[in-house]
């Protein structure tokens, strides 16, 4: 399974929690350095707590569950 597929699998597990609050996340890319580029959508896109969601929630899960992931960046 590719790194991108592993990342998508983790995002699919987290997605219901984001959708419950009216948001969602889209995987844009995983670069060669292990940086995952994500787009927060819906309510998450404009939420003041989106950085916390991204770093404390999504990034933490990806770092724990997907070897090779080095960090997460939000793209708009």
The domains of the chain are located at 3-74
Q: What is the CATH number of domain 3-74?
A: 3.30.300.130
Quote the pLDDT of residue 46.
81
CB proximity list for 60: less than 8 A, separation 6 or greater: none
- CA-based torsion, 47, 34, 14, 11: positive or negative: positive
- Nearest by Cα to 41 from 22, 16, 20: 22
Quote the pLDDT of residue 21.
87
Residues 27-71: tens digit of each pLDDT: 999 999 999 999 999 888 887 888 888 888 999 999 999 999 999
The average confidence (pLDDT) of the chain is 93
pTM of the model: 0.91
């Amino acid at each position: 399974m590719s790194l991108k597929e592993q990342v998508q699998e983790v995002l699919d597990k987290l997605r219901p929690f984001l959708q419950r609050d009216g948001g969602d996340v889209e995987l844009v890319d995983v670069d060669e350095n292990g940086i995952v580029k994500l787009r927060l959508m819906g309510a998450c896109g404009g939420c003041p707590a989106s950085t916390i969601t991204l770093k404390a929630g999504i990034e933490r899960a990806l770092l724990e569950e997907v070897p090779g992931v080095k960090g997460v960046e939000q793209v708009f």
